[in-house]
C-alpha cells in the first residue's frame, strides 16, 4: 500500500469559459452550441485543487479525448 493511496485531488481541464443567462440555458435543446472565449488553437488550462498547474492541447482519437501537456505553470511567489 502506498502512502499516496486514499489522497483525493480534484482535477479540471478548462477548454474555455463564457457567461450565459440561466434563462438561455433552460431554453437550450440537445445539440445546442455554447460559444467560448477561446479559439481552437488556444491552450486548455489544467487546474488541480483549484490551482492552475499546466496548459495543454486537447487531442481526439475516435471517441477518446486526451490532453497533451505543453507547459507546466510555475507557482507564483506570494
Residue 20 CB coordination number (10 Å): 10
Residue 69 contacts by C-beta under 8 Å, 6 or more apart in sequence?
46, 54, 55, 56
The confidence score (pLDDT) of residue 75 equals 81
* Grid cell in block for residue 59: 487531442
Q: Inform me whether the pLDDT recorded for 3 exceeds 90.
A: no
Q: Which domain holds residue 49?
A: 11-72
The confidence score (pLDDT) of residue 21 equals 95
pLDDT tens digits, one per residue of 31-78: 999 999 998 889 999 999 999 999 999 999 999 999 999 999 998 765
Q: What is the CATH number of the domain that holds 29?
A: 2.30.330.10
* Grid cell in block for residue 26: 433552460
Looking at the structure of the chain, the number of domains it has is: 1
The confidence score (pLDDT) of residue 10 equals 95
Is 36 inside any structural domain?
A: yes
The confidence score (pLDDT) of residue 27 equals 94
Q: Inform me whether the pLDDT recorded for 12 exceeds 80.
A: yes
Question: What is the layout of strands, in order, in the sheet containing 44-48?
Answer: 11-14, 44-48, 51-61, 64-72
* Global pTM value: 0.73
Amino acid at each position: 500500500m502506498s502512502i499516496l493511496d486514499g489522497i483525493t485531488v480534484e482535477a479540471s481541464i478548462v477548454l474555455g469559459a463564457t457567461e450565459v443567462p440561466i434563462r438561455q440555458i433552460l431554453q437550450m435543446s440537445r445539440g445546442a452550441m455554447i460559444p467560448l472565449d477561446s479559439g481552437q488553437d488556444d491552450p486548455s488550462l489544467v487546474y488541480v485543487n483549484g490551482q492552475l498547474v499546466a496548459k495543454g492541447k486537447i487531442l481526439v482519437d475516435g471517441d477518446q479525448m486526451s490532453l497533451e501537456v505543453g507547459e507546466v505553470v510555475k507557482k507564483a511567489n506570494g
